[in-house]
């Protein structure tokens, strides 16, 4: 995929550290209702051992990532540096194309901006729950 210099592709093993850094940075900037210490690069790297990690890149710069757990068609992570510029949509569209069925994801209940984004992209809320005291909503598309 190439849109104004944006390329979505599978992350290289050598890029997973940079992906983990982006993951932590965006979580700390965005999820202000959660203690920043709760966001750890090690969590991303552990999950990446069993997930397909895709990156959106402009040149050599990684501007977004998506981590996809194929056995459940579950989008575990979608984080972007450049919000509002089509990076999240490009990553989401890519994951939905490579999935072999409907894609699901969890979105924190307080993350209203992400919920709006997923609804605009054709996802519907199917469930609500809580993990470690953090409320979430499950969304499905397809």
Give per-residue pLDDT as tens, 38-64. Answer: 777 888 899 999 999 999 999 889 999
Q: Tell me if 118 is assigned to some domain.
A: no
In this predicted structure, what is the pLDDT of residue 2?
A: 43
Provide the Cα torsion 119, 124, 128, 130; round to 10°. Answer: -50
Residue 91 DSSP SS3: helix
Q: pLDDT band for position 76 (50/70/90)? A: very high
Which residue, 51, 102, 113, 112, is CA-closest to 76? Answer: 51
What is the CATH number for 49?
3.40.630.30
Domain-located, residue 62: yes
Provide the whole-model pTM.
0.89
Does 84 reside within a domain?
yes
Q: Distance between CA atoms of 136 and 121, rounded to whole angstroms?
A: 18
Question: Does a structural domain hold residue 92?
Answer: yes
**Domain-embedded: residue 25:** yes
What is the number of domains present in the chain?
Answer: 1
Q: Is residue 114 in a domain?
A: no
Looking at residue 3, its pLDDT comes to: 58
Q: Residue 81 domain-assigned?
A: yes
Q: What is the mean pLDDT of the chain?
A: 90
Domain containing 41: what range? 2-100
Residue 112 lies in a domain: no
């Amino acid at each position: 995929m190439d849109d104004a210099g944006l390329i979505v592709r599978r992350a290289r093993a050598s890029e997973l550290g940079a992906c983990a850094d982006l993951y932590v940075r965006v979580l700390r900037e965005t999820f202000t209702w959660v203690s920043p210490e709760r966001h750890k690069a090690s969590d991303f790297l552990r999950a990446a051992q069993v997930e397909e990690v895709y990156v959106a890149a402009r040149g050599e710069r990684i501007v977004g990532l998506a981590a996809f757990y194929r056995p459940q068609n579950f989008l575990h992570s979608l984080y972007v540096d450049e919000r509002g510029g089509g990076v999240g949509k490009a990553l989401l569209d890519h994951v939905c194309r490579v999935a072999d069925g409907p894609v699901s994801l969890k979105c924190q209940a307080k993350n209203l901006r992400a919920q709006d984004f997923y609804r605009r992209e054709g996802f519907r809320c199917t469930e609500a729950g809580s993990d470690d005291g953090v409320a979430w909503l499950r969304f499905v598309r397809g």
